[in-house]
Chain A
Amino acid sequence: MKKGSNLDVLTRGVLKENPALVLILGTCPTLATTKTVDGAFGMGIAAMLVLICSNVFISLLRNIIPDTMRIPCYIVIIAGFVTIVKLLVQAYMPDLYTTLGVYLDLITVNCIILGRAEMFAGKNPVVKSALDGVGMGIGFTIALTMMAVIREVLGNATFAGTPIPFLQNYKISFLSQAPGGLLVYGLLIALVYIVTKGKAPLKKSFSCAGCPNAAHCHTACTEKGDEA
């Protein structure tokens, strides 16, 4: 697969640059909404919708938005799309709206959305930005759903709210709680690290040196032994 091709942009968010398991972005909703498969899948889809729309919008305006004003502009765009998605979910999927609660609003400050706006959509054309949004959204949704399946099935002996009869006496309740979420999250990160042979986290584009502020804190990066 040619590096930088549309297919590459679309697929790299799924595993190689999975936002939750490789870039370690969006940790808060990842831990908070993965108690149930329904909630996790819903959060993934909602974040993906916002990600696609904001990426497209920001990419369209990338040559108009002044560099000094880009963060406020990104936030306005992202907050706008989050509110639109929230209204749609509230109107057409009230159960999901209740499940996600405050975390739906918090997509506004989800690092993945702002991170992709800053790292990708602000520098790339519309189609690629849209594909990046789709890929990252799918990757985020898969990561959340995987975590939720493990936590709900083993922790609560249910799948998407449906009881699993033969597991009822073998619940590991710890997994439904916050520490269990952290444990599952850590294990999945380790699994992805093994699958990608540890290469993905060293990529320059999202390592310390890829940070927009890297020039100002170069010393700090060096002290941390960042070799990217």
Chain B
Amino acid sequence: MLKNIKTVGVLVAICTVVALLLALTNQITAPIIAKRESDAANKALLEVMPDGTGFEELKDISKLPDSIVEAYKETSGKGYVFKINATGYKPDMMLMCGVSTDGIITGSVCLSSSETWGFEKTLGDQMKGKNIKTVADVEAGATSKTIKGYRTAMKDALNAATILGGGEADLRSPEEIFNDNLKAALPAGEGDFVKQAIADATNAIDFIYAAKNGAGYVYIIGEQFIGVDAEGNVVTKDVSAENGTLAQSKAALAAAHTAVDTTDSGINENITSVQKNAEGNYVIEINGLGFGWFGNPNEYQEAKNIPIQICTVISPDGNMLECLTVAHEESKDYGAAWGTEEYYGQFDGTTIDTYKDVDVISGATISNNGYLKAIERCFKAVEILEGGAE
């Protein structure tokens, strides 16, 4: 009995001494560790809200969208930062997003994800400055679940900021919000719009959408959607005079586009439209080949018979002024690669001799070849129309 008591006593004594040593160490290190953790957390928060001075975590987030897992209030009232659990191709795409009090995204980053191609890591910069009206227009032709998931997460963050500011959440999807805004800006367009290249616009215009029925254009400047009808009149109400004038001047330039007669010219049959803009440059629309159209239909996914729709603006002397992917449905595994400015923007400034120098998408030979072929055909079309080699 005495032996057992001694055994237990020794173990208790050792545990006590070790516990005291641990307590002493913890006493010394706890404040340092807490400061380091706080600095690390603030660093991530500052990344998405660079103007922030300090952040306070909000404990009650029950009224916010379900995807919001953490919410922080900027202590000087500049806005909020949210940690969001988004779903792309796979769940648990963790994003951080800062939203100013006037509903503008101040920054976003992807903290962790298991997406296949990593597009979520590149979307942060594009989201900066978007509001709930424009958050859908991030990538041309983007159909990837990754980007849709990212957009939805951004919309949730914007809604969360609205709720915390005493407003009501917008329950529409980002795409519905965007399309509704286009429709509201130019009702005569009947909700059917196509994105336009903006080579001859000023930098102030973010995006241009043309009504497919020819009713006019919608110009997006900041958060304003400005509809201009076919006669060049601004039809959207509550538009600032400056932006209205800008949109009108752009519409006048668009109206000055003249169709080029390509009958029997010998240009490629996949070119669907050739126009000359007010500055005498060629605006060429072409259907590029790929998996979605004439490509291998069965290897990865069912072909949707949708080409890579490309719009190019080329000067008469053969310089690419602007290239834009209007729409595409290429293999889902490559997400929105073809629709990203990072990809199609590479062609700006190229010529028929240099267009092949761009970085192609690794592992997507058919789509790469289709895209490059389309660009080559645009250059050759200009050469032909300018009376050069056929």
Name A residues whose Cβ lies closer than 8 Å to a Cβ of B.
61, 64-66, 68-69, 72-73, 76-77, 79-80, 83-84, 87-88, 90-92, 94
Minimum C-beta distance from B1 to chain A (A):
14
Does B22 have its Cβ within 8 Å of any Cβ on chain A? yes
Does B204 have its Cβ within 8 Å of any Cβ on chain A? no
Name B residues whose Cβ lies closer than 8 Å to a Cβ of A.
3, 6-7, 10-11, 14-15, 18-19, 21-22, 25-26, 28-29, 32-33, 36
Minimum C-beta distance from A55 to chain B (A):
15
Q: Contacts A83-B22, A87-B25 hold; do A92 and B32 have CB atoms under 8 A apart?
A: yes
Number of A-B contacts (CB under 8 A): 50
B11 lies within 8 A of A76 (CB): yes
The interface residues of chain B lying within 8 Å CB-to-CB of A79 are 18
B11 lies within 8 A of A87 (CB): no
B32 lies within 8 A of A91 (CB): yes
Q: Contacts A66-B6, A68-B7, A80-B22 hold; do A61 and B29 have CB atoms under 8 A apart?
A: no
B36 lies within 8 A of A94 (CB): yes
The interface residues of chain B lying within 8 Å CB-to-CB of A90 are 29, 33, 36
For the complex of A and B, 10 pairs with smallest distance between CB atoms: A80-B18, A91-B29, A91-B32, A87-B29, A66-B7, A84-B25, A69-B7, A87-B25, A91-B33, A73-B14
A88 lies within 8 A of B25 (CB): yes
Sample of 4 more A-B contacts, CB < 8 Å, known A84-B22, A91-B28 = A76-B15, A80-B19, A80-B22, A90-B36
Q: Looking at the complex, which one of B18, B26, B29 makes contact with A76 (CB distance below 8 Å)? A: B18
The interface residues of chain A lying within 8 Å CB-to-CB of B36 are 90-91, 94
Residue of A nearest to B39 (CB): A94
A64 lies within 8 A of B32 (CB): no
Q: In whole angstroms, how far apart are the Cα atoms of A92 and B14 in the complex?
A: 27
Judged by DSSP, the binding face of A is helix
The interface residues of chain B lying within 8 Å CB-to-CB of A64 are 10
The interface residues of chain B lying within 8 Å CB-to-CB of A65 are 10, 14
21 contacts between A and B (CB under 8 A): A66-B6, A66-B10, A69-B7, A69-B10, A72-B11, A73-B14, A76-B14, A76-B15, A76-B18, A77-B14, A77-B18, A79-B18, A80-B22, A83-B22, A83-B25, A84-B21, A87-B22, A87-B26, A91-B32, A91-B36, A92-B32
Minimum C-beta distance from B288 to chain A (A):
35
B21 lies within 8 A of A80 (CB): yes
The interface residues of chain B lying within 8 Å CB-to-CB of A92 are 32
Residue of B nearest to A80 (CB): B18
Minimum C-beta distance from B23 to chain A (A):
10
Minimum C-beta distance from A46 to chain B (A):
14
Residue of A nearest to B13 (CB): A64
Residue of B nearest to A92 (CB): B32
B11 lies within 8 A of A69 (CB): yes
Q: In whole angstroms, how far apart are the Cα atoms of A68 and B14 in the complex?
A: 15
Q: In whole angstroms, how far apart are the Cα atoms of A82 and B25 in the complex?
A: 12
Q: Looking at the complex, which one of A73, A77, A88 makes contact with B29 (CB distance below 8 Å)? A: A88
Q: In whole angstroms, how far apart are the Cα atoms of A90 and B344 in the complex?
A: 46
Q: In whole angstroms, how far apart are the Cα atoms of A192 and B33 in the complex?
A: 41
Q: In whole angstroms, how far apart are the Cα atoms of A87 and B15 in the complex?
A: 18
A73 lies within 8 A of B22 (CB): no
Residue of B nearest to A74 (CB): B14
Residue of B nearest to A69 (CB): B7
Minimum C-beta distance from A164 to chain B (A):
26
Residue of B nearest to A88 (CB): B29
Q: Which of B14, B32, B36 has the most CB of A within 10 A?
A: B14
A73 lies within 8 A of B33 (CB): no
Q: In whole angstroms, how far apart are the Cα atoms of A4 and B7 in the complex?
A: 32
Q: In whole angstroms, how far apart are the Cα atoms of A69 and B3 in the complex?
A: 11
Minimum C-beta distance from A113 to chain B (A):
14
Q: In whole angstroms, how far apart are the Cα atoms of A49 and B348 in the complex?
A: 60
Residue of B nearest to A85 (CB): B25
Residue of B nearest to A84 (CB): B25
The interface residues of chain B lying within 8 Å CB-to-CB of A83 are 22, 25
Minimum C-beta distance from B232 to chain A (A):
59
Minimum C-beta distance from A206 to chain B (A):
26
The interface residues of chain B lying within 8 Å CB-to-CB of A73 are 10-11, 14
Minimum C-beta distance from A54 to chain B (A):
10
Q: In whole angstroms, how far apart are the Cα atoms of A7 and B123 in the complex?
A: 62
Minimum C-beta distance from B17 to chain A (A):
8
Residue of B nearest to A58 (CB): B14
Q: Contacts A66-B7, A69-B7, A80-B21 hold; do A87 and B33 have CB atoms under 8 A apart?
A: yes
The interface residues of chain B lying within 8 Å CB-to-CB of A80 are 18-19, 21-22
Residue of B nearest to A68 (CB): B7
Minimum C-beta distance from B304 to chain A (A):
38
The interface residues of chain B lying within 8 Å CB-to-CB of A91 are 28-29, 32-33, 36
The interface residues of chain A lying within 8 Å CB-to-CB of B32 are 91-92
The interface residues of chain A lying within 8 Å CB-to-CB of B7 are 66, 68-69
Minimum C-beta distance from A42 to chain B (A):
17
The interface residues of chain A lying within 8 Å CB-to-CB of B22 are 80, 83-84, 87
